[in-house]
Amino acid sequence: HHPAACRLASAGGRACSSVMTTPPLKLVSHVLCPYVHRAAILLHEKHVPFERENVDLKNKPDWFLKISPRGKVPVLVVGDVPVFESAVIVEYIDEVHPPRILPADPLERARQRAWIEVANDLFMAQYKVASATTAADRAAAVTTQGDVLARFEADLRGEFFAGDALG
């Protein structure tokens, strides 16, 4: 529940629900996009119901271009309000649907947010491995992928990046 909302509800003589309700969620997606998977995984982990709608990124519909200023997925439509950029979507989901996966400590939370950018490097390296058209390009991409994974390995603190819990 949201403490400020509970205080307002109590002041108005209404009971405060322990469950925060949100408008319906629709995740505008593409099946191969790792950034979409980042948001979908968190929604599933938090048991948040949502609808998923895939778009053809080679033939973007007008309605999609109206809600995605960069013409990219994912977009999380909350009621009728679009939220774009995967890191922003994940933070919104984490804030609105408890329990939080990001830590309360601001420094540790900042550290984990910063590693999202390294994850973006990994996504790009994996894409280059999968899409390489020559053996030399593939070998270079595999080397880059290994280098990025080594950066993660050096900072892992347990089974998950944040230690023993998803974070």
User: Which backbone phi and psi does 147 adopt, to 5 degrees?
Assistant: -65, -45
Spatial distance between the Cα atoms of 85 and 10, rounded to a whole number of angstroms: 35
Report which secondary-structure segment, H or E, holds 90. helix 86-96
Residue 162's nearest CA partner among 131, 121, 116 is 116
**Active-site residue identified among 25, 27, 28, 33:** 33
DSSP class of residue 30? -
Q: Are 161 and 112 in contact (CB under 8 A)?
A: yes
Report which secondary-structure segment, H or E, holds 136. helix 135-155
Answer yes or no: 33 catalytic.
Answer: yes
Give the distance from CA 39 to its chain's centroid: 3
Catalytic residues: 33
